[in-house]
Copies of this chain bind each other. A is one copy, B any other.
Amino acid sequence: MWIAELSRQSDVPVATIKYYLREGLLPAGEAVGATRARYGETHVRRLRLIRALVEAGGLSLARVRNVLAEVDEESLEMHDVLGAAHGALIPTDLPATDESRRRVDDLIAERGWEVHSGSPDRALLANALDALEKVGYHLDDDLLKTYASAATQVADAEVAALPADDRQRTVEATVLVTALGGPVLLALRRLAQQSASARRYGMPRRPACDVGEGGVRSTG
């Protein structure tokens, strides 16, 4: 198919596809003459993957590029895929105090988790704990353990649910579950928070949002 058809099938404007091609997010099509290139199903899939990561996962194009590089890395063993995906997905080199780092290390040891000593998530977590301390709030051990326990349940189920058939598909699923599972989990957590808050403080008298009668308008 030509670029116009690719645009139709993926619902991404031609100009944006060209931009992604230039930025190396999308592999070039098969050149047919000097001013023509043919695209295939892989391009449609790749475009949909990009849009999902950007729109629902909230990733920047720079991160998407990192992630796609890992997806395409044929040499990756399955036991390295997840670490590679995480490395591509999250920021690195965050500052954190030694105290918070030690707290994170202790938690990991206590849980018996097998993670690289250099995993950026350690620093990310320590950094978040520091940020709370800086504003005068301490995340106590009980709550931290509750987080860890919930995280374990979710992660075990997610890893168990990963398809094991085709390598390419497994890697893609790994990336998608990590990137889109986050928003899903956080949205559910907020819904549960609202429910818990309603139980603690009594029922709200009315919806907080200011839509008129008739409920929520549909968009698009």
Contact = CB atoms under 8 A, between A and B. Distances in A.
Interface of A: 45, 48-49, 51-52, 55-57, 77-84, 86-87, 90, 93-95, 108, 111-125, 127-132, 134-137, 139-140, 142-144, 146-161, 172-173, 176-178, 180-204, 207-209, 211, 215-216, 219-220
A122 to B, nearest CB: 8
A49 B204 CA distance: 27
A212 to B, nearest CB: 11
Contacts of A194: 82-83, 86, 113-116, 119, 121
B180 A131 contact: yes
Q: How many copies does the complex hold?
A: 2
A139 B181 CA distance: 9
A190 B134 contact: no
Given A118-B216, A184-B128, A192-B154, A80 B204 contact: yes
